[in-house]
């Protein structure tokens, strides 16, 4: 019995490690820079997919491929019209296809079990944020972890400033800065789903929820968005279940927890204010209470960089440029929507989000009665739409996991339903 339990723990640990590598898309120094870990798992997943005994192309998968072809068509269109070739999004489309099959491999590893797969994602994010905390406390560990990764000069410069001033946690691979905050937000939302779905070990998942929330804020303040959306999720889920008898208990626990947190901050405020990381992470609240302004340096930067073309051609099909020749962002904007519209216009933006929305409605159609899942998917969608007001963002890596879970869950649970859908 003990040997069986040890084997299970070992298996779960390996699965968490696999999910970790996929989620954080690490570029190791001993591999070519294009062979990030998501790409590697993409090739592995593609091999497993084509080596099936009964190889078939589901119609839904064919539609995803079609959307990728349409995306490339828009890139070719804006390239020809503007007579300027920027390969950024052709590479992005090819990567998405590989990420899709990487997600396939992850779902197979999770035995096509949705709750188990989502728990593996959460635990991977928990592990990453715990490692980010350790690296913040131990710069030598941070130096070791960054030395095994391939990073560009811009990242190295930004990293140097962060380490020098100690303003935030540094993660691994995609777990740093804006993308790290978004991944933490996804971890928070998935934890919310597990808390409201799981009947056992709720306390454990609540602790993980709080840990990812706090450490996510220290990685990037965009994690506040995930926390906000998760609170809305809790509220809507509570209303849907109509479990009003538990309202007094929720109020008491929330009040008690709030008093503890507020008391701790009040008692240790002077010490906390000497911490660069605390001031940076909670700048918006510090400014609110000190000057009454709900803003940060980052929000002011967003206002300045949220720009759009003034001529109709650029607005509709873009300028075909993502970077200047010197490597800086085109039009010097880092805002997701601005970068997309300047690259391939409004029509291109619609194509950019099309895969996400196709998989969203694919899941909703298949699990129409699963209110918790629909609420989770819509929360991820709002994270995507709002997050692009800060930086360029897609969450296809997690949406692809939902696609394969939906496709194969239907195949297994209802053999009468055609697989090729």
Query: Under 8 Å CB-to-CB from 401, ≥6 apart: which residues?
Result: 103, 106, 107, 117, 121
Residue 299, SS3 per DSSP: helix
- Domain definitions of the chain by residue range: 36-110+316-420, 113-295
Question: Of 317, 332, 356, which Cα lies nearest the Cα of 99?
Answer: 356
Interatomic CA distance for residues 37 and 149, integer angstroms: 11
Interatomic CA distance for residues 143 and 259, integer angstroms: 38
- Residue-by-residue pLDDT tens, the chain, 421 positions: 556 567 788 889 999 999 999 999 999 998 998 899 999 999 999 999 988 756 678 889 999 999 999 999 989 999 999 998 887 778 888 899 999 999 999 999 888 889 999 999 999 999 999 999 999 889 889 889 988 998 765 566 556 656 655 678 889 999 988 999 999 999 999 999 999 988 777 889 999 999 999 999 999 989 999 999 999 999 888 888 776 666 676 677 677 777 877 776 767 666 666 676 766 666 666 666 666 666 666 777 777 888 998 899 889 999 988 888 887 888 889 898 999 999 999 999 999 999 999 999 999 988 888 899 999 999 999 999 999 999 899 899 999 999 999 998 755 554 444 433 4
Interatomic CA distance for residues 366 and 370, integer angstroms: 9
Question: Of 177, 167, 231, which Cα lies nearest the Cα of 392?
Answer: 177
Gyration radius (Cα) of the chain, Å: 22
């Amino acid at each position: 019995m003990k040997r069986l339990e040890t084997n299970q723990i070992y298996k779960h640990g390996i699965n968490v490690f696999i999910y970790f590598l996929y989620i954080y898309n690490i570029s190791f120094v001993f591999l070519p820079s294009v062979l990030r870990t998501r790409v590697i798992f993409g090739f592995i997943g593609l091999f497993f997919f084509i080596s099936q005994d009964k190889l078939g192309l589901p119609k839904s998968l064919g539609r995803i491929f079609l959307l990728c072809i349409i995306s490339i068509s828009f890139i070719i269109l804006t390239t020809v019209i503007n007579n300027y070739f920027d390969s950024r999004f052709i590479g992005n489309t090819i990567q998405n296809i590989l990420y899709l099959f990487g997600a396939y491999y992850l779902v197979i590893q999770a035995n096509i079990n949705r709750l188990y797969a989502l728990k593996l994602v959460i635990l991977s994010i928990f592990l990453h944020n715990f490692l980010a905390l350790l690296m913040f406390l131990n710069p030598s560990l941070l130096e070791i972890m960054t030395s095994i990764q391939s990073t560009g000069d811009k990242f190295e410069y930004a990293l140097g400033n962060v380490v020098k001033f100690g303003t935030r946690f540094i993660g691994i691979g995609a777990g740093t800065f804006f993308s790290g905050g978004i991944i933490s937000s996804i971890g928070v939302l998935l934890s919310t789903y597990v808390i409201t779905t799981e009947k056992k070990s709720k306390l454990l998942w609540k602790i993980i929820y709080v840990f990812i929330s706090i450490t996510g804020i220290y990685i990037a303040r965009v994690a506040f968005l995930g926390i906000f959306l998760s609170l809305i999720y809790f509220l809507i889920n509570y209303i849907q279940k109509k479990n009003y008898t538990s309202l007094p208990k929720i109020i008491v626990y929330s009040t008690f927890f709030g008093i503890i947190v507020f008391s701790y901050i009040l008692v240790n405020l002077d010490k906390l204010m000497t911490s660069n990381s605390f001031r940076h992470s909670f700048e918006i609240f510090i400014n609110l209470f000190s000057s009454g302004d709900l803003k940060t340096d980052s929000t002011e930067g967003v206002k300045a960089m949220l720009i759009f073309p003034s001529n109709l051609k650029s607005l509709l099909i873009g300028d075909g440029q993502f970077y200047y020749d010197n490597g800086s962002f085109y039009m010097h904007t880092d805002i997701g929507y601005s970068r997309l519209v300047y690259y391939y216009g409004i029509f291109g933006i619609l194509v950019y989000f099309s895969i996400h929305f196709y998989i969203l409605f694919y899941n909703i159609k298949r699990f129409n009665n699963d209110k918790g899942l629909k609420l989770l998917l819509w929360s991820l969608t709002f994270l995507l739409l709002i997050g692009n007001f800060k930086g360029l963002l897609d969450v296809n890596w997690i949406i692809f996991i939902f696609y394969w879970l939906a496709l194969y869950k239907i195949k297994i649970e209802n053999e009468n339903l055609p697989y090729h859908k």
